[in-house]
């Protein structure tokens, strides 16, 4: 054990000495070493930046779906029946009681019914036409619409068919200008409503987009919409949420079967599978990111190869410059392995230094991209990819070893007598 420990310490000391020799050689030729490092640095920086940005984009796409609450949901949308025979089977279309029944299914965790329309609204300013949404229980929560002031619609509002409304940010501004809208009344389609809440403006992390049509929406209880504007229990959309993205298929099948049973076999509805659209979008995003990975990866590999060629050339020059030194060392007892390890140590030290500088440069580029995005009002967080950093550094070591092997072997094979005589 002591002998093994002694051997290990001796090996470590030798590696330390080789590292010092490599550093001394680099410092002795600063400009040449810097030029040699350039290709490796940019290659590793490309890998780090590529992995970090791709990871960030994928995370933002997932976050946007989470923000809108769509990836584990599906909708039943009302449509007219195809024939008189189907109509005669006494289906009255999508109705609020359908939603109540579907919510009793064990696989459905959340649901709401929706009605859409446009009505003239007016408060302090001139009248304007506003998109109005009648929503049932948890309607705002299902679409991840956050209330920034006041409150959301409640079960009591639905039960009492209360004339209350939650406004989008732009609707609140247009109706009440600078005044606080909470508690204030306005007319909508000739009916009076009281403002109980204002919604946060919707946004996407990845793509700057305008959501004016959403910000101008007015949300009221679906029961109030039915009582004041339609006079029936019909709804246009029943939106349901499954326990998870993976469970959407079975949950949708259960809900569809139950709805057909309620409608006596009449398919007077269409299905919009938001989860399926999410899967298709993710496939498209993954395909685009894979293409980007291939292109940027090729650029990074080319940069590393160029750096390797530069490293090879510099080591060849170093061997020619130190022929006499190599001959003297071999004449006083250094063997071929000592010479080979010395030049490999120089090659690996240069490559490792290039890898570390590349990681720093890639990290700096990611932080620079964050700053530029912030300057344009975008919140873009790009976490440095540990995987990209590890792969970049590993590639730099492989390049250092691969392109340093031949010059090191050439130096080790020099004849000491011939070398000293040069």
Does the pLDDT of residue 285 top 60, yes or no? yes
Question: What's the CA gap between 51 and 182, in Å, rounded?
Answer: 47
pLDDT tens digits along 31-83: 566 667 788 888 888 888 888 888 888 888 777 777 777 788 899 998 876 65
Question: What's the CA gap between 368 and 72, in Å, rounded?
Answer: 35
* H/E element, 400: helix 386-412
Q: What is the pLDDT of residue 20?
A: 57
Does the pLDDT of residue 208 top 60, yes or no? no
Could you write out the DSSP letters of every residue in 31-58?
HHHHHHHHHHHHHHHHHHHHHHHHHHHH
Q: What is the pLDDT of residue 360?
A: 94
State the burial class of residue 321 (Cβ atoms within 10 Å of its Cβ: 0-12, 13-18, 19+): exposed
Q: What is the pLDDT of residue 7?
A: 45
Does the pLDDT of residue 415 top 80, yes or no? no
Q: What are the two backbone dihedrals, phi and then psi, of residue 312, each rounded to the nearest 5 degrees?
A: -60, -45
> Is the Cα torsion angle 4, 5, 7, 12 positive or negative in sign?
positive
How many C-beta atoms lie closer than 10 Å to residue 362's C-beta?
28
Q: Give mean pLDDT, residues 269-280.
A: 86
Q: Is the pLDDT higher at 140 or at 63?
A: 140
Q: Give mean pLDDT, residues 196-212.
A: 73
Q: What is the pLDDT of residue 115?
A: 92
Degrees, nearest 5: CA angle 4-6-11: 95
**422, 324 in Cβ contact below 8 A?**
yes
**399, 304 in Cβ contact below 8 A?**
yes
Q: What percentage of the chain carries pLDDT values higher than 70?
A: 86
Q: How confident is the model at residue 259 (pLDDT cuts 50, 70, 90)?
A: very high
pLDDT tens digits along 298-313: 887 888 888 888 888 8
Does the pLDDT of residue 375 top 90, yes or no? no
Least confident of 84-93, 189-198, 320-329: 84-93
In angstroms, the first-to-last Cα distance of the chain is 47
Cβ neighbours for 382, distance < 8 A, ≥ 6 positions apart: 52, 53, 56, 366, 367, 369, 370
Q: What is the pLDDT of residue 6?
A: 47
β-pair type (237-241, 110-122): antiparallel
Question: What's the CA gap between 139 and 237, in Å, rounded?
Answer: 11
Q: What is the pLDDT of residue 28?
A: 55
Question: What's the CA gap between 328 and 415, in Å, rounded?
Answer: 10
What does pTM read for this prediction? Answer: 0.69
State the burial class of residue 256 (Cβ atoms within 10 Å of its Cβ: 0-12, 13-18, 19+): middle
Ranked by mean pLDDT, the top range of 156-165, 211-220, 367-376, 405-414 is 156-165
Question: Alpha helix (H) ranges present in 109-247?
Answer: 139-142, 155-160, 169-176, 212-215, 222-225
Q: How confident is the model at residue 162 (pLDDT cuts 50, 70, 90)?
A: very high
Q: How confident is the model at residue 102 (pLDDT cuts 50, 70, 90)?
A: very high
Average pLDDT across the chain, whole number: 82
Cβ neighbours for 356, distance < 8 A, ≥ 6 positions apart: 393
Cα separation values, 28 from 21, 33, 292, 305, 396, Å:
10, 9, 40, 24, 22
- The closest alpha carbon to 41, from 300, 349, 296, belongs to 300
Long-range contacts of 309-312 (CB under 8 A, 24+ apart): 309/39, 309/403, 310/35, 310/36, 310/38, 310/39, 311/36, 311/40, 311/347, 311/350, 311/351, 311/399, 311/400, 311/403, 311/404, 312/403, 312/404, 312/406, 312/407
Question: What's the CA gap between 380 and 383, in Å, rounded?
Answer: 10
pLDDT tens digits along 3-42: 444 445 555 545 555 555 555 555 555 656 666 778 888 8
Q: What are the two backbone dihedrals, phi and then psi, of residue 196, each rounded to the nearest 5 degrees?
A: -115, -10
Place of tokens 């039915």: 226
**304, 37 in Cβ contact below 8 A?**
no
Does the pLDDT of residue 241 top 60, yes or no? yes
Cα separation values, 336 from 133, 146, 329, 350, Å:
83, 72, 10, 22
> Is the Cα torsion angle 109, 113, 116, 120 positive or negative in sign?
negative
Q: What is the pLDDT of residue 2?
A: 46
Q: How confident is the model at residue 182 (pLDDT cuts 50, 70, 90)?
A: very high
């Amino acid at each position: 054990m002591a002998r093994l420990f002694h051997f290990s310490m001796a090996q470590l000391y030798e590696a330390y000495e080789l590292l010092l020799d490599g550093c001394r050689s680099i410092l002795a030729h600063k400009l040449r070493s810097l030029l040699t490092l350039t290709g490796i640095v940019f290659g590793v920086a490309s890998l780090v930046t590529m992995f970090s940005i791709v990871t960030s984009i994928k995370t933002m796409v997932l976050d946007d779906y989470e923000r809108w609450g769509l990836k584990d949901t599906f909708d039943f949308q009302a449509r007219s029946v195809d024939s008189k025979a189907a109509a005669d089977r006494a289906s009255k279309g999508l109705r609020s009681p359908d939603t109540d029944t579907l919510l009793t299914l064990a696989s459905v965790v959340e649901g709401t019914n929706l009605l859409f329309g446009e009505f003239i609204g007016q408060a302090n300013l001139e009248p304007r036409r506003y998109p109005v949404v009648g929503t049932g229980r948890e309607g705002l929560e299902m679409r991840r619409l956050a209330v920034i002031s006041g409150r959301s619609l409640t079960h009591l509002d639905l039960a009492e068919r209360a004339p209350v409304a939650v406004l989008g940010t732009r609707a609140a501004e247009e109706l009440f200008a600078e005044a606080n809208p909470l508690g204030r009344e306005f007319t909508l389609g000739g009916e009076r409503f009281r403002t109980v809440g204002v919604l946060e403006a919707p946004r996407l992390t990845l793509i700057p987009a305008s959501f004016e049509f959403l910000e101008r929406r007015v949300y009221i209880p679906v029961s109030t919409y039915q009582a004041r504007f339609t006079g029936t229990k019909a709804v246009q959309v029943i939106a349901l949420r499954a326990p998870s993205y993976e469970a959407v298929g079975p949950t949708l099948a259960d809900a569809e079967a139950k709805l057909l049973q309620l409608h006596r076999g009449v398919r007077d509805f269409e299905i919009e599978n938001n989860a399926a659209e999410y899967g298709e979008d993710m496939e498209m995003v993954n395909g685009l990111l894979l293409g980007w990975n291939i292109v940027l990866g090729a650029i990074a590999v080319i940069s590393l190869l160029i750096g390797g060629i530069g490293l090879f050339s510099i080591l060849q020059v170093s061997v020619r410059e130190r022929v006499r030194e190599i001959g003297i060392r071999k004449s006083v007892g250094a063997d071929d392995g000592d010479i080979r390890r010395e030049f490999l140590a120089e090659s690996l030290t240069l490559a490792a230094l290039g890898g570390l500088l590349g990681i720093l440069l890639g990290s700096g580029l990611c932080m620079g991209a964050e700053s530029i995005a912030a300057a344009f009002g975008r919140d873009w967080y790009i976490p440095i990819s540990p995987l990209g950093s590890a792969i970049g550094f590993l590639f730099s070591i492989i390049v250092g070893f691969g392109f340093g092997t031949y010059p090191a072997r050439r130096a080790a094979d020099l004849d000491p007598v011939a070398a000293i005589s040069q």
